A and B are shown apart, each in its own frame.
Chain A
């Protein structure tokens, strides 16, 4: 039995997947930990949890691919890939008919055009701004004093969704406070928040050709309100896996499995070793 792992160190949470080599690779274990301030430790912790879950030793893992913003801080990894490649590959693994991935994470959202074998054909990402991301929803939840996992189901009860005119993660707070002061219902405000994010995300995604089937990935995919809001704006159904949150790590694990068979030198790159480093 040969196994490999993918570790996706995101801005909010670190996800890890252990995979066993097979005709169709099998997911052996999953780990999910908060990233926190120490990225390196979060990655190590997730990897430990993964090994414990599967009941194997770390040295039994043949290859580890790191992805996500913290990928350069994974001390035990063998290679790094961007989460763009990993989400495309992971989505293709879960839903082989995927041609478009919409990934909504903690601090960025992206749309990826995917080829028949899970390769990236094109991608767009949000600019240096958290508008339209998980952070936007988290801020809205905080202002309204409700738990993040409640906002999606509540938003579906909206009868008259308000209009949120800003997509700024900071300024949305004042919009929400203003609506609360006007006595608007919480579900209508949340309905408006979800609509605003969905419109922003779809307008971004339209810059790549949106071809069916569309797979939604990332932590925000667990929010049923966002799934429905996106489907409404897109006018199409989304594929959402129970493992949506782990898709990046799944893609990384598949790349890691593929690399088991190649005589690979360590493929780790670090910005500090750059030839022109100095600024």
Chain B
């Protein structure tokens, strides 16, 4: 097969992203050495970074550190260190990489990670977090605050759920005042929420560009480039400037008719995080078939905004609570995730769905077998189910995964050529 001329998205935004993320690591390094800015460890999913912004505190996301370690092939050493300590083989590999990196002093940039001023267990859609953050607090001696966010059990969260989270956020304000020594500035918080709303609007418009054919970027592999700034800088003017530039650059690509490949052959929706230890190898498996992800659920872990939800500066506490409760994929129920994927397939005009099951994340992955059945048997959508891990390199079997992906596209190609009914595939 001839090699596709591919354009892994390498615009000026890619460079700007590197600069922003480096600056973030430098702030964390400064925090490690001087205690300033104060750092708060929290979870990406449904995060409340706007509140930290109001206190000039820097967020410390263990998932970003973990994935950076994995993508640089440095995750196995900390994972093994955590296993030596007693973590089981099937514990979350993000947890083990994070705990191991504390034990071994390993960071992706070689800099130092701070002892967090606060370990904020925001507990959105992942109950492993409680034990994880308790252990981080025990290891670092940092203060722990557990913010309990109920799962989204119905289509919308109840008023009681919203009030419950708002009350905790207000209590968290007192905790943040205490650890930063700063008085809470409501207007500053509103400003951060206003920035977040603007970033969400820009990000949403970027995602809608992928509805074009060809899509100007890969909404899975390239979206990950944009997700770091989304989580770290969402509540700041820097975040707004970054996403404004990203939108402009991608709109130019649309105007010029530029896609990820010279000729886009397949359009996909991706479910589940990528196998970071083999990120490029995995991407190549799709590049070979000139297949572009036009939408992904993983890019909505931090927030789901492409269907209209936004933070609201007029009611900042309520909108942060709503964001945590229902405006991110991990806290939503499975039927909502089915519907999200179905809408992507229909509105972004995808040819099929790829489900990547994460061995060490039962919470996100449990139920994906049923999900596969729903798409193949009820919606008759070509759906490929593959398994490895987002962090642990030991679960990635290249030959087997390549085989499944190739077979999926062979069948898809045949059905496209002959106009036959949709095939479906699973491994």
A contact residues vs B (CB 8 Å cutoff)? 69, 80-85, 108, 115, 117, 119-125, 127-128, 207-209, 265, 267-269, 271, 273-279
Contact = CB atoms under 8 A, between A and B. Distances in A.
Interface string B62-74: 0000000000010
B426 interface: yes
Contacts, number: 106
A122 B407 contact: no
Interface stretch (B25-33, B184-192, B417-425): B417-425
8 contacts: A85-B411, A115-B423, A122-B423, A123-B427, A124-B427, A265-B2, A273-B3, A279-B280
A85 B379 CA distance: 23
A83 B281 CA distance: 21
A90 B404 CA distance: 18
Which A-B residue pairs are the 7 nearest by beta carbons? Answer: A274-B284, A84-B407, A269-B1, A276-B280, A82-B407, A120-B411, A275-B6
Given A271-B402, A275-B6, A122 B376 contact: yes
**Residue of A115, A117, A277 contacting most chain B CB atoms (<10 Å):** A115
Given A121-B411, A128-B397, A265-B2, A271 B420 contact: no
B287 interface: yes
Given A121-B424, A269-B3, 16 more contacts: A82-B407, A82-B410, A84-B407, A115-B421, A119-B418, A120-B410, A120-B423, A121-B421, A123-B411, A124-B427, A125-B426, A125-B427, A128-B397, A209-B377, A268-B1, A275-B6
B288 interface: yes
Nearest to A111: B426
Interface residues of B, number: 43
A128 B400 contact: yes
A279 B426 contact: no
A119 B420 contact: yes
A130 B373 CA distance: 24
A120 B425 contact: yes
A267 B1 contact: yes
Contact of A276 (B73, B287, B377): B287
A81 B287 contact: no
Nearest to B382: A122
B140 interface: no
Contacts of A125: 400, 403-404, 426-427
A278 B280 contact: yes
Given A275-B3, A279-B281, A124 B426 contact: yes
Contacts of B174: none
Given A85-B410, A277-B280, A123 B426 contact: yes
Contact of B283 (A117, A127, A276): A276
A81 B407 CA distance: 8
B150 interface: no
Contacts of A122: 376, 423-426
Contacts of A115: 420-421, 423
Interface string B223-253: 0000000000000000000000000000000
B414 interface: yes
B224 to A, nearest CB: 13
A265 B2 CA distance: 8
A276 B402 contact: no
B83 interface: no
B279 interface: yes
Interface string B350-390: 00000000000000000001000100110000000001000
B8 interface: yes
